[in-house]
Chains A and B, each alone.
Chain A
Amino acid sequence: MKDRLFDAVGMIDGRYIDEAHDGALAEAAQKRRLRGRVLLAAAVLAAALCIVGFAAAGRLYFAPGVGIVDEESAAFPQVWACYDEGIKLGDAIIDAVVLSEDEEGYTMNIWLYGAKLYPEPRIVTDEMGNETPISDVTVCIDGEEYSAQGSKTSKGVSAYVFKCLPKHFSPTLRDREGNETTVSLISIGESQYSYIRGISFGKDKAITAIPLSGSENVFTAQLTDPLTFTIAQETQKTYASCTWLITHDDGQTSQLELSEMVIDGKLQAGFSGSALPQDSRDRGIRSLTAQMVVVSHNFASYNPLLIDDPRQFCTFNLPEPGEGIDCDFILYGHHGIVCRVTRIDYTEQGLVYTTKLENDSTSPFSEEMYEFQISAGILTIEDGTTQQYGLTFDPSIGTLISQTRDGVSPIAPGTEIGIYLRGLTYAYLPEAPAADLGTISFK
């Protein structure tokens, strides 16, 4: 099984190989490249957040829903975990079970190694014809059942998240085949978190790796970034993902990619836990290095009636196919970031935007640490009002179409169109030489 995908890639169609070999790669330099500098926002985080410094001294605790707190803070960790090793649920091994308290109540995270993942819940129909979905894993507490589908597999480890559970320290887990196991959860004392370390990068940014299970095989992380959380308050959804490089005791390395964190603009949420690859677990961890943090802001479709939307839409007349227009549209200009569109071309692939990202103040960081990308949406303007349409390019018709209640009709060149910001993505690369940051040492 190992290297199967690599072998498959080795047999791809020859035209792709020729394209990569012969292709006018210099042409890639003409594609739009977005460079920018980030102005670190001066937004104030909630008082419960603690900025974690590099090589932090003293004891730190992970308080779910609150953040990283030190031993002088009022908040104490409300986390319980199962430390029994090697117990099974059917054919799968229970890697970790963690119950934590947050703003919404109690959340249970379960990690299984070697469990089957199913794309859909199994539907059970009773004698009355009622259908009940049977999820991959069910948690039974005091006669009540809670379901979750598996997700985010990595090296055979699947994760299950149960929200809004009652507080209970002896949950029974059941898999889809009906196998059951009851686990015992114990409170995690302060000594378990003595090895939390934070990585700071930049002036106000930090990312912290937190082992969740007693065997240090399952990690989550905490992100501190004023800019990201400020912008997230204006988005429909903001996602962050993080890639770590693990150096083991024997000097060899492996990678750990944490599941995406969804930021809803409030206090930070932690990344979902991810387990080390099985073949890495017995090799010990000497250090963790944050290789990359990627943040994607997804803004909602633009509503011209919404006064508080910080975005702007700029209008232009749809050019003829094959032609383009030069412009200078500022789609977003807040928190020190300016997103511009400088040209729009109507190509065979649809509308192609040439974009530019700037900040309007100096930044202490070099451009090598960041990469940006923005995406735009468009809407048509008719009779002095704006009409929101899903605009796509249909090659069979050969032009842009708008999907209206009356069906599909093409948009004629010359039609007045508004363009607005839909997405903004940037990456932090803490490994940049200038930063000298990004490594957690355990030993």
Chain B
Amino acid sequence: MDDREIMDALLARDETALAALDARCGRLCRAIARNILGSDEDAEECVNDTWLRVWESIPPAEPPSLAAYAGMITRRIAISRWRARNAERRRAAVTPIDELDELLPGGDEVSARLETAELTAAVNAFLDTLDRDARVMFVRRYWHLEPIAAIAARMDLRAGTVRVRLHRVRRKLREYLERRNLL
């Protein structure tokens, strides 16, 4: 089944849509969950929760891209679990969250000023300014939460190269947000 057929099945409350959804997006969602949670078992639970949420939200939602929609749900579920698990424990290694967190200053004055939606709009506009490679690298690191080594292997680059380029993109993002008075 293609995306349109899966969507029609979901709208018609046809449960065969879920198996088709798993075939279509399962690999992506499991990879996202595994990158965040580090365990196949936890990732599988996450993905199962994702299908439930998709079933409950479509309709009324009719997302243009099922893969992106399911991936977003998986990401949110996985991050919630990860945060709950790590609330009392300090992280041992620098994570993508740490890398992005350093771009923003702390302080309540920023949280009072910024809405996440406004920041998301700025990030979307910023991504438009990047060349394709840089954009893919950024999304795979900070949305997919893929390890640098995996990105490097996928793009046939060295890990050091990926690290350097992500460093430059983060610096550009900071300058972009500063110019728009979002920092």
Chain A binding site: helix, strand, loop or mixed by DSSP?
A: mixed
CB-contact partner of B92 in A31, A251, A257, A291, under 8 A: A251
Q: Using a Cβ–Cβ cut-off of 8 Å, how many residues does chain B contribute to the interface with A?
A: 65
Q: How far is the CA of A13 from the CA of B181 in the complex (A)?
A: 22
Nearest-Cβ distance from residue A121 to partner chain B, whole angstroms: 15
Q: Give the distance in Å from the alpha carbon of A1 to the alpha carbon of B64 in the complex.
A: 31
- Of A20-28, A76-84, A305-313, the one contacting chain B is A20-28
B116 with A4: CB separation less than 8 A: yes
* A9-B143, A11-B120 given; A19·B164 CB < 8 A: no
Within 8 A of B (CB), among A259-297: 277-278, 291-292, 294
Chain A residues with Cβ below 8 Å from B79 are: 10
Provide the main secondary structure of the chain B interface: helix
Per-residue contact bits, chain B 140-183, to A (CB 8 Å; 1 contact, 0 not): 10111000000000111110110110011001000000000101
Which residue in chain A gives the minimum CB-CB distance to B75?
A10
Of the stretches A150-158, A172-180, A199-207, A387-395, the one at the interface is: A150-158
User: Do B158 and A21 have beta carbons less than 8 Å apart?
Assistant: no
Q: A-B pairs with CB below 8 Å: how many?
A: 165
Is residue B101 within 8 Å, beta carbon to beta carbon, of the partner chain? yes
Q: Do A23 and B65 have beta carbons less than 8 Å apart?
A: no
Collect the chain B residues with CB atoms within 8 Å of residue A155's CB: 102, 105-106
B residues with a Cβ closer than 8 A to A are 28, 63-65, 67-69, 71-72, 75-76, 79, 90-94, 96-111, 114, 116-117, 119-120, 122-124, 127, 132-133, 135-136, 139-140, 142-144, 154-158, 160-161, 163-164, 167-168, 171, 181, 183
A residues in contact (CB < 8 Å) with B: 1-23, 25-26, 28-29, 31, 33, 114, 116-117, 119, 153-156, 241, 243, 245, 250-255, 257, 277-278, 291-292, 294, 368-369, 371, 427, 429, 432
21 contacts between A and B (CB under 8 A): A1-B108, A1-B110, A2-B101, A6-B96, A8-B122, A9-B143, A10-B76, A11-B72, A11-B116, A12-B127, A17-B139, A20-B136, A155-B105, A253-B93, A255-B94, A277-B102, A291-B163, A294-B167, A371-B158, A371-B161, A427-B164
**Additional 8 contacts, C-beta under 8 A, given A17-B71, A33-B157:** A8-B122, A18-B67, A19-B136, A20-B143, A28-B136, A155-B102, A255-B98, A429-B163
